[in-house]
């Protein structure tokens, strides 16, 4: 995006970069809201130290703060070893320089970190196992589609730039079909909407495949040349008649048949899967089942066709220069912070450094995580605002915004690597994290040469061969060399070199069946605990937040949607819940109270709360969610969550 | 050229509010109410009507009620159709707040004058789009030049708001498309006719 300042360094405009074809030169409201964010009154501008007596914080100088932090970190390490310190980083203020924190921790002797991801890892791994790589067609080719199937995806709320292209395709005659248990702004504009039970998508995908194969609509030419294990997969389809898939998914068999035939007969067809259908324990196998449909119908390597989940084409930076790996390192899955903070021993966690994240509300078992953080000897949080995580810290260090330090930014959807210029000096006492780490290294007498005096030279060294910073400063660049049509050459970097309908790697790495199948969720429509907790809770995203960011700003609050409990009239009536009344939602893990919205826009048996705690009054939904793991790649299981609801 | 105004495509608008923020930035509406608003309709998704969003600011009426109600002639209907308000002539009497049937003019307590959307007249004069239109991520909100073009095939242009005061708002809508929205919008229109 392009930022214009006046003589007083005030932002007078934020506009989309016209050289980025994916956005068409437009910015979403979150990008625009930075005009407020950088200067708003509640931004943290000075280091804070928790008061020795009484609640709250007091301002403290950087020297005192870092001196005391260094001393207390040193004490923790001397008493328990370096692994007693947890370093937790998330993806806020996303950029390449964040990784320099490890220049400190490696010299510290190591630390405990997290692995996996709360968001998207199972779908990434399923795509990699199937196609060999996470890449997809250039966004602008969306308009060449004749049919766009959005599966568990709501771009009208979560990717407005993609939605613009989908609407363009629709206005040129493409059919838009959405599979989602909820009505959303995307389903409102769609031509067809199917509302299956959450967590049954694998059965739906295999049911669709069965209809396609029975009708002889699979692309035998493509499959003969480019499919690995198709016969094994075909046997799996025996179990998934449309009627069997219908009874699992709660859809009509006729709808499954109709969708399958329309998807297979309309070319080119684009299948876009959201991250939502992989936020449960069967995530990887589900995503493999869905991801195979484009290959089955010969929609791979075709403009206007394809499989889209996430595009990692821009994730091509070279590694930062860091000290050698330390002797001690320990890690646990990021979805299980609460559990490990409480139970790890040898050594126990005694200190935590948290930056670019807000685990006290955004991670599963949030209330237990908060309790565990409150018991530590030292908690340091780096943030722009006093988040619920920062409120638990001993020291809160003020963080930069994306306008206040140069960096390189990669993307999730379009293929462009982008230069992020420093357009403003950090306000107040704010220092970029890289400067904080350098200063802390200085305190410990460590080598500070890993922190560049010249950030541009440091970033230039991260660029892939043939890419110059000078060119990147002029415009976003696709440096992947993959071309606009993914897999146009039909070369798949899988072990077999083909699209893997059966994957030996999936079995060997993750202990799952070679061929994707359907298994009921541990906590879902078919599980025994439904007797006590009969409703499936989804906690989805919408347009005005990225998790717990942006919603704190008055500008954004003025346009945000209500954060309420969506419940179907049938479920509400059975519990005596009136629209607009207070409801309690609970399970064995926790309990929240919030306003109910009785809506036809959700499947009976399913309730929904928007995730993302931004301000007082927002639902603390992650006290309900479990610390489960996805079947592959260490993801979280936010959407595998049964609850009961009653009048407050 | 007369007839400058907004065209809102109800099928493309997702009610995101980017237009509101772009207006705030462009017009310095930092700590005050925004000139533009997004009104969501039927967020409960009652099956009797469509869910859609109205992004509205000033309608730049052909016969502006604000102008007729202003004793100090602070309002001007420009030749291109834009209705501008001149703060230097404004008494702060708030009559226009009462005469405008759409609640557009806002009283600025701090400065004791009214203020409202001027369709980014300085930008328009420099051949640029209004900030809200330029920012709209889905190209739902458009400017008069686009409004003058015939609607896309199969899409119906519908007049703006009900107009009891007879001030002929220049705002126009493109009716929702998509199976569910279009069907529901038709049923809504029929209900209104009854």
DSSP 8-class letter at A88: E
Q: Give me the CATH number covering residue B29.
A: 3.30.70.20
Distance CA A86, CA A254 (A): 53
Going by C-alpha positions, the residue among A204, A305, A181 that lies closest to residue A516 is A204
Confidence band for B2, pLDDT divided at 50, 70 and 90? low
Distance CA A457, CA A289 (A): 45
pLDDT digits (tens, 9 = 90+) for A420-453: 999 999 999 999 999 999 999 999 999 999 998 8
A7 forms beta bridges with none
Percent of chain B with pLDDT over 70: 92
Which one has a higher pLDDT value, B4 or A584?
A: A584
pLDDT digits (tens, 9 = 90+) for B6-55: 999 999 999 999 999 999 999 999 999 999 999 999 988 888 778 889 99
pLDDT digits (tens, 9 = 90+) for A415-425: 999 999 999 99
Least confident interval from A87-91, A633-637, B103-107, B179-183: B179-183
Least confident interval from A92-96, A107-111, A486-490: A92-96
The alpha carbon torsion through A290, A293, A295, A298 (nearest 10 deg) reads: -160
ipTM, 2 dp:
0.94
Distance CA A500, CA A139 (A): 25
Which one has a higher pLDDT value, A616 or B160?
A: A616
Domain-embedded: residue B67? no
Q: Check whether A523 has a pLDDT greater than 50.
A: yes
Chain A CB contacts of B179 under 8 Å are: 190-192
Entry pTM = 0.96
Percent of chain A with pLDDT over 90: 97
For residue A268, is the peptide bond before it cis, meaning its omega torsion is within 30 degrees of 0?
yes
- Residue B181 and residue A188: Cβ atoms within 8 Å? yes
Reduced DSSP (H G I as helix, E B as strand, rest coil) percent helix, strand, coil of chain B, to 5? 25, 20, 55
Report the domain count for chain B.
1
Which one has a higher pLDDT value, B174 or A62?
A: A62
Domain boundaries, chain A: 1-32, 43-108+325-398+427-466, 132-312+485-510, 528-647
- pLDDT, mean of residues A120-130: 98
CA A631 to chain centre: 17
Residue B182 tokens, joined:
């279009």
Nearest beta carbon to residue A32 from set B18, B45, B177: B18
Q: Check whether B149 has a pLDDT greater than 70.
A: no
Domain-embedded: residue B49? yes
pLDDT attached to residue B186: 76
Closest residue in B to A544 (Cα) is B16
Q: Check whether A560 has a pLDDT greater than 90.
A: yes
Q: Check whether B1 has a pLDDT greater than 60.
A: no
Domain-embedded: residue B109? no
- Residue A189 and residue B11: Cβ atoms within 8 Å? yes
Chain A CB contacts of B178 under 8 Å are: 170, 176, 188-191
Distance from CA of B142 to the nearest CA of A (A): 14
- We find that the CATH architecture of domain A528-647 is Beta Barrel (2.40)
Which helix (H) or strand (E) segment is B21 a member of?
Answer: helix B18-27
Chain A CB contacts of B38 under 8 Å are: 559
pLDDT digits (tens, 9 = 90+) for A138-182: 999 999 999 999 999 999 999 999 999 999 999 999 999 999 999
- pLDDT, mean of residues A184-192: 93
Domain-embedded: residue B68? no
Nearest beta carbon to residue A561 from set B22, B43, B177: B43
For residue A593, is the peptide bond before it cis, meaning its omega torsion is within 30 degrees of 0?
no
Closest residue in B to A187 (Cα) is B180
H/E/C letters for each residue in A332-371?
Answer: EEHHHHHHHHHHCCCCCCCEEEEECCCHHHHCCCHHHHHH
Burial of B44 from C-beta contacts in 10 A (0-12 / 13-18 / 19+): middle
pLDDT attached to residue A36: 97
Domain A43-108+325-398+427-466 has CATH 3.40.50.740: yes
CB-based contacts of A184, cutoff 8 Å, min separation 6: A154, A156, A157, A178, A601
Distance CA A415, CA A322 (A): 27
Closest residue in A to B38 (Cα) is A559
Structural domain of residue B137, as residue ranges? 6-62+120-193
- pLDDT, mean of residues A101-112: 97
Domain-embedded: residue B176? yes
Rounded to 5 degrees, φ, ψ at A644 are: -120, 155
Domain-embedded: residue B87? no
Q: Name which of B30, B138, B154 to mutate to probe chain A: the one with the most chain A Cβ atoms within 10 A of its Cβ.
A: B138
- Residue A191 and residue B178: Cβ atoms within 8 Å? yes
Distance CA A293, CA A370 (A): 42
Distance from CA of B38 to the nearest CA of A (A): 7
DSSP 8-class letter at A601: T
**Three-state DSSP class for A321?**
coil
Residue A88 near residue A356 (C-beta atoms within 8 A) = no
Distance from CA of B61 to the nearest CA of A (A): 25
Identify the CATH number of the domain defined by range A132-312+485-510.
3.40.228.10
Q: Check whether B91 has a pLDDT greater than 90.
A: yes
pLDDT digits (tens, 9 = 90+) for B171-193: 888 887 766 677 777 777 777 77
A351 forms beta bridges with A85, A378
Distance CA A39, CA A604 (A): 44
- pLDDT, mean of residues A198-217: 98
Domain-embedded: residue B74? no
Q: Check whether B148 has a pLDDT greater than 70.
A: no
Distance from CA of B166 to the nearest CA of A (A): 30
Confirm whether A132-312+485-510 and A528-647 share one CATH topology. Answer: no
Nearest beta carbon to residue A27 from set B135, B138, B139: B135
Chain B CB contacts of A579 under 8 Å are: 44
Closest residue in B to A154 (Cα) is B14
Pairs across A and B, CB distance < 8 A: 125
Chain B CB contacts of A29 under 8 Å are: 16-18, 20-21
């Amino acid at each position: 995006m392009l930022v214009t300042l006046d003589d007083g360094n005030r932002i007078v405009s934020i506009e989309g970069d016209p050289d980025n074809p994916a956005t068409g030169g437009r910015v979403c409201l979150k990008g625009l809201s930075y005009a407020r964010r950088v200067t708003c009154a509640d931004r943290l501008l000075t280091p804070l130290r928790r008061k020795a007596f009484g609640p709250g914080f007091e301002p403290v100088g950087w020297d005192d703060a870092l001196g005391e932090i260094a001393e207390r970190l040193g004490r923790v390490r001397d008493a328990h070893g370096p692994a007693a310190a947890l370093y937790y980083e998330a993806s806020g203020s996303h950029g390449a320089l964040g990784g320099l924190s490890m220049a400190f921790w490696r010299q510290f002797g190591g630390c405990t970190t997290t692995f996996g991801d709360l968001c998207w890892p199972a779908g990434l791994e399923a795509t990699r196992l199937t196609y060999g790589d996470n890449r997809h067609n250039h966004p602008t080719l969306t308009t060449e589609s004749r049919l766009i199937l959005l599966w568990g995806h709501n771009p009208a709320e979560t990717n407005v730039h993609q939605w613009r292209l989908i609407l363009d395709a629709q206005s040129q005659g493409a059919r838009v079909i959405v599979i989602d248990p909820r009505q959303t702004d995307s389903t409102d504009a769609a031509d067809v909407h199917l509302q299956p039970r959450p967590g049954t998508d694998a059965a739906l995908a295999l049911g669709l495949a069965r209809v396609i194969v029975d009708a002889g609509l699979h692309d035998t030419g493509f499959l003969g040349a480019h499919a690995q294990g198709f016969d094994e997969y075909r046997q799996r389809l025996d179990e998934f008649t449309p009627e069997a898939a219908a009874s699992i998914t709660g859809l009509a068999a006729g709808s499954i048949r109709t969708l399958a035939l329309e998807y297979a007969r309309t070319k080119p067809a684009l299948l876009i899967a959201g991250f939502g259908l992989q936020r449960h324990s069967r995530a990887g196998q589900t995503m493999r089942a869905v991801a195979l449909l484009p290959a089955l119908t010969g929609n791979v390597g075709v403009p206007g066709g394809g499989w889209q989940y996430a595009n990692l084409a821009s994730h091509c930076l070279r590694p930062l220069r860091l000290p050698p790996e330390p002797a001690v390192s320990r890690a646990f899955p990021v979805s299980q912070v609460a559990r490990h903070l409480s139970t790890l021993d040898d050594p126990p966690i005694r200190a935590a450094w948290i930056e670019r994240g807000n685990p006290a509300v955004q991670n599963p078992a949030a209330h237990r995580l908060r309790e565990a953080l409150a018991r530590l000897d030292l908690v340091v949080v780096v943030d722009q605002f006093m988040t619920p995580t920062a409120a638990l810290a001993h020291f809160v260090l003020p963080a930069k915004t994306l306008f206040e330090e140069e960096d390189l930014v990669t993307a999730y959807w379009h293929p462009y690597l982008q230069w992020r210029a420093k357009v403003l000096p950090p306000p107040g006492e704010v220092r970029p994290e890289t400067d904080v780490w350098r200063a802390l290294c200085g305190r410990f007498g460590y080598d500070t040469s890993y922190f560049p005096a010249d950030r541009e030279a440091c970033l230039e060294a991260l660029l892939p061969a043939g890419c110059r910073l000078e060119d990147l400063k002029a415009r976003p660049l696709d440096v992947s060399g993959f071309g606009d049509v993914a897999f146009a050459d039909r070369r798949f970097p899988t072990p077999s070199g083909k699209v893997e309908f059966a994957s030996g790697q999936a079995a060997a790495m993750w202990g799952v069946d070679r061929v994707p199948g359907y298994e009921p969720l541990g906590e879902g429509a078919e599980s025994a605990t439904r007797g006590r907790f009969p409703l499936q809770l989804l906690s989805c995203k919408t347009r005005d937040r990225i998790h717990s960011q942006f919603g704190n700003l008055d500008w954004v609050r003025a346009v945000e949607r209500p954060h309420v409990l969506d419940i179907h009239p049938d479920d509400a009536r059975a519990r005596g819940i009136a629209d607009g009344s207070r409801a309690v939602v609970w399970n064995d893990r926790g309990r929240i109270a919030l306003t109910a919205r009785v809506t036809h826009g959700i499947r009976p048996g399913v309730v929904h709360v928007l995730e993302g705690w931004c301000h007082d009054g927002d639902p603390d939904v992650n006290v309900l969610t479990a610390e489960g793991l996805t079947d592959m790649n260490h993801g979280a299981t936010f959407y595998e969550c049964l609850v009961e609801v009653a009048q407050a | 050229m007369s007839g400058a105004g907004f065209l809102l495509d109800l099928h493309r608008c997702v009610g995101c509010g980017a237009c509101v923020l772009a207006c705030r930035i462009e017009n310095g509406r930092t700590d005050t109410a925004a000139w533009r608003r997004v009104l969501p309709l039927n967020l409960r998704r009652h099956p009797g009507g469509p869910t859609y969003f109205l992004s509205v600011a000033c309608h730049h009426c052909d016969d502006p009620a604000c102008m007729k109600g202003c004793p100090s002639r602070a309002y001007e209907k420009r030749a291109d159709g834009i209705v501008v308000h001149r703060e230097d002539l404004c008494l702060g009497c708030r009559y226009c707040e009462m005469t405008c049937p759409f609640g557009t003019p806002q009283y600025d307590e701090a400065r004791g004058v009214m203020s409202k959307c001027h369709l980014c007249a300085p930008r328009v004069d420099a051949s640029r789009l209004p900030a809200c239109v330029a920012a709209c991520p889905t190209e739902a909100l458009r400017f008069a030049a686009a409004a003058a073009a015939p609607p896309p095939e199969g899409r119906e242009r519908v007049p703006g708001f009900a107009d009891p005061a007879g001030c002929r708002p220049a705002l126009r809508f493109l009716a929702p498309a998509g199976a569910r929205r279009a069907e529901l919008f038709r049923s809504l229109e029929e209900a209104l006719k009854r």
